[in-house]
Amino acid sequence: MLSIKKNGKNRLDIDFSGDLNGTEMEKALDDFVARSQDIEEGRMLYRIRDFHLPSFGAMMIKLSRIPELLRTMGHYDRVALLTDTDWLQTAAELEGKLFPGLDIKAFDLDEEDEAEAWLVQGVAQPA
């Protein structure tokens, strides 16, 4: 299951669990790119529960769209990843070091309040 939703003007929330095949990956990437178009200095909350590696077809689709995905990630400043999968937490934080201007921080699933607080740091709040 994959769900991608706008949460305010400059925020995207992604929920993922289980398996992802090629068709689902194609739709997910289309949704992600489309919903990111008007986001600037964006924040993303990404929840991953019950992670299974995507199918080979899904991985090939993602690899074929890397240039587009890199451009799309340029719309974001911060990504909070919620997962209890240790290696995903480590990989996400390493990935954040590869992208100048993008800060990725991993949290355990039960640390959603902390992740939410971290996402809004440095964002001007309406008066």
63 occurs within a structural domain = yes
Token representation of residue 44? 């993303």
22 occurs within a structural domain = yes
Give the CATH number for residue 31: 3.30.750
Q: What is the pLDDT of residue 123?
A: 60
127 occurs within a structural domain = no
Domain that holds residue 76: 2-120
Q: Which of helix, strand or coil describes residue 127?
A: coil
Number of H helices, E strands in the chain: 5, 5
59 occurs within a structural domain = yes
Contact 48, 17 (CB under 8 A): yes
65 occurs within a structural domain = yes
The amino acid at residue 5 is K
Query: Distance between CA atoms of 116 and 127, rounded to whole angstroms?
Result: 19
Regions of the chain where pLDDT drops below 50: 126-127
Q: What is the pLDDT of residue 127?
A: 44
Query: Distance between CA atoms of 43 and 21, rounded to whole angstroms?
Result: 26
114 occurs within a structural domain = yes
Host H or E run for residue 43 = strand 42-51
Q: What is the pLDDT of residue 122?
A: 64
Q: What is the pLDDT of residue 11?
A: 96
77 occurs within a structural domain = yes
Number of domains the chain contains: 1
Q: Which of helix, strand or coil describes residue 75?
A: coil
Q: What is the pLDDT of residue 2?
A: 85
pTM: 0.85
56 occurs within a structural domain = yes
Token representation of residue 56? 């080979």
